[in-house]
Amino acid sequence: MSDFSLPDEVLKAARKGLSYELYRALLLNYGKRGEKAFFYLKERRVKKYKDFFVVVGTNEYVVEGNFCTCMDFQFNLKARSPCAHIIAVRLARIMKLYDYYDIYYTDFMSSRS
């Protein structure tokens, strides 16, 4: 499986915060997926649980390392490139732009049903 390292241009922009520079770097490097990742960060849609990161989009997508549960990652990208959710989680970790929940996501999900 690929490493999915973020390009230096994106990392440099991320260290400066949630700005137009980051938006531009994401758009140039990842296109629409980069734009979506920026939106997830801006809207604080990245959640960290004890066991997984989750990005709230149309559904809730679990991101663990280089894997995401979304259809785009599994079928369109065929796990060869990062989806918007993986990009958003990578950046959220660097920028500390996520909400932390002191519970396991699996427990959270079972309590909802």
Please give the Cα distance from 84 to 50 (Å, whole number). 22
- Burial class, 95, CB count within 10 angstroms (exposed 0-12 / middle 13-18 / buried 19+): middle
Please give the Cα distance from 112 to 90 (Å, whole number). 27
pLDDT category, 4, cuts 50, 70, 90? Answer: confident
The three-class DSSP label of residue 108 is helix
Task: Parse the chain into domains and list their residue ranges.
Answer: 8-112
pLDDT tens digits along 8-62: 999 999 999 999 999 999 999 999 999 999 999 999 999 999 999 999 988 999 9
Residue with tokens 């440099």: 12
**Partner residues linked to 56 by β-bridges:** 60
Check residues 109 and 86 and name the one with the higher pLDDT: 86
pLDDT category, 1, cuts 50, 70, 90? Answer: very low
Q: Can you give the pTM of this predicted structure?
A: 0.92
pLDDT value of position 28: 97
Lookup: tokens for 27: 């758009």
* Residue 85 one-letter amino acid: H
CA nearest neighbour of 13 among 34, 44, 33, 32? 34
pLDDT value of position 77: 83
Please give the Cα distance from 12 to 69 (Å, whole number). 28
pLDDT tens digits along 56-108: 988 999 999 999 999 999 888 887 889 999 999 999 999 999 999 999 998 87
